[in-house]
Amino acid sequence: MSDLLVRRIGRLTTWVGTPTVDAAVVIRNGRVEWSGPDRELPRGLGDGPQLDAAGAAVLPGFVDCHTHAVWAGDRRSDFVARLEGGDYVPGGIEATVAATRAADDSTLLRAAARRIRTMRANGTTTVEVKSGYGLRPDDEARLLEVIRRLDGTFGGIESTYLGAHVVPDGRNRSDYVAEVIASLPMAAAHGARWCDVFCDDGAFTTDEARQILTAAAGQGLGLRMHADQLAQVGASRLAAELRCASADHLDHVTVGDAHALASAGVVGVLVPVASLYTRSGRWSHAALLQQAGVTLAIATDCNPGSAYGESMPLAIQLACLEMGLSVETALRAATLGGAAALRRADIGHLGPGARGDLIVLASDHEVDVVAHLGAAAVTTTVTGGVVGRT
């Protein structure tokens, strides 16, 4: 956490009021102290380290509120097979579980750190990272420790326990659910702030999810759900009932489900890269959620099998071009929306007191984050006032 003055910003978006041209931002002790037109910079705030934006646009850093960034192995054979005619089934997760269990901690940490660095280079300043490729208490604990170490190295990491990713091969369902519940104190002890359940056809039922999430709330963990991605199984309704912080995927959500989510204040997390990657052809849920008044977030879902990619700009581009969000709606969803999904008021915007997490774009206009495909959207990522090299 440090001091920084960012000057010569061509166009500054803070989400407090309209964009300012020829702007500056003052970060003191890692927090935004002042922003406004460069020429109105108050005396005395212009000391200390400076970053010259050279006319580029600046946005709040992206908040990627749904990733599975800790894994070993690859899923190339799944991927090739799917393009030759197969469908995505959650069973492919087992291959990653086997590779992850077989990998040592330093291998897992090195691979995950590389992914976080790629995220940073693409403008992500806060990342939620889930466990869920251990699926045994000891291995889940190892993954949560890797996530804790990532936070120690990079900062800005939110940790989620996803023991309820799938029922591991050969395990009795109810025994496994009991084990997940019994592991909740372990998860909290290893730094998890959140508990997530993959509630879907082929994963956990709503009854199982209710048991796990109710117990998680009792342990002080916040709640999130993978909901109704592969089929409408009532997961969104459960997310509303339990007032989860977020319900994610939602490809098969109904209008009624969407209204329930909106009423309960559950953030709907769109993961368009997963829709593309699994060739689901489902995009219309985004408009349906938006029309129902659900607060939207956009996340990468970064994982090896169904959304292998670290890039928030790509997720934002697909949210616009495939799901039909406007540019401003998508940029808000990728910043403020992600913050809401993590129940964080201090990130996702650059109002006074916010964390000094911002990105200098490769363009003088933020529309190019969406309009310029396949290009490096971000030149510099600042976290807590510290300038990263990307």
Contacts with a copy of itself by CB under 8 A lie at 74-76, 79-80, 83-84, 118, 122, 273, 276-277, 279, 307-311, 313-315, 320-322, 324-327, 365, 367-368, 370-375
Closest CA to 217 of 232, 201, 196, 189: 196
For the bound state, the minimum distance from the C-beta of residue 114 to a copy of itself, rounded and expressed in Å, comes to 10
Smallest distance, Å, CB 325 to a copy of itself? 7
Strand 358-361 with 57-60, pairing:
antiparallel
Nearer CB in complex with a copy of itself: 75/190: 75
* Least distance between a copy of itself and beta carbon 111 (Å): 13
For 312, phi then psi, to 5°, come to -65, -40
CA distance 76 to 233: 29
Distances (CA, A) of 308 to 74, 343, 380: 10, 26, 23
Nearer to a copy of itself, 178 or 327 (CB): 327
- To a copy of itself, the closest distance from the beta carbon of 312 in angstroms equals 8
Neighbouring residues of 109: CB distance < 8 A, sequence distance ≥ 6: 146, 149, 150
- Give the nearer residue to a copy of itself in terms of CB position, either 26 or 302: 302
Q: Which one, 171 or 365, has the nearer CB to a copy of itself?
A: 365
Q: Give dist(CA 180, CA 164) in Å, integer.
A: 7
Q: How far is the CB of 367 from a copy of itself (least distance, A)?
A: 4
Kindly state the DSSP code that residue 24 receives in the 8-state scheme: E
Q: Which is nearer to a copy of itself, 136 or 365 (CB)?
A: 365
| Residue 39 or 84 having the CB closest to a copy of itself | 84
**Closest distance between a copy of itself and the C-beta of residue 227, in Å?**
23
Residue 244 structure tokens: 């989860």
CB 329, min distance to a copy of itself, A: 9
Cα angle, residue 217 at apex, residues 212 and 219 outer, rounded to 5°: 95
Give Rg (Cα) of the chain: 20
Q: Which residues pair with 21 in a beta bridge?
A: 11
Residue number with CB closer to a copy of itself (96 or 183)? 96
**Complex with a copy of itself: residue 62 or 204, whichever CB lies closer:** 62
Give the C-alpha separation, 10 to 15, whole Å. Answer: 16
Q: 1 or 99: whose CB is closer to a copy of itself?
A: 99
Nearby residues of 230 by Cβ (< 8 Å), 6 or more positions away: 90, 200, 201, 202, 203, 251, 252
For the stretch 85-90, contacts whose Cβ atoms lie closer than 8 Å and that sit 24 or more positions apart, written own/partner, are: 88/278, 88/279, 88/280, 88/305, 88/306, 89/202, 90/166, 90/198, 90/200, 90/202, 90/203, 90/230
Count CA atoms closer than 13 A to 274's CA, side-chain side: 25
Q: Shortest distance, CB of residue 336 to a copy of itself, whole angstroms?
A: 19
Q: Give φ, ψ of 66 to 5 degrees.
A: -155, 100
Report in angstroms how near the CB of residue 353 gets to a copy of itself at its nearest.
31
| Least Å from the CB of residue 286 to a copy of itself | 12
Instruction: Using the minimum distance from each CB to a copy of itself, give the nearer residue, 128 or 208.
Output: 128
Burial code (b: 16+ CB inside 10 Å, e: under 16) for 246-256 equals bbbbbbbbeee
Shortest Cβ 313–a copy of itself spacing (Å): 7
**Dihedral over alpha carbons 179, 185, 191, 194 (to 10 degrees):** 70
Between 235 and 316, CB nearer to a copy of itself: 316
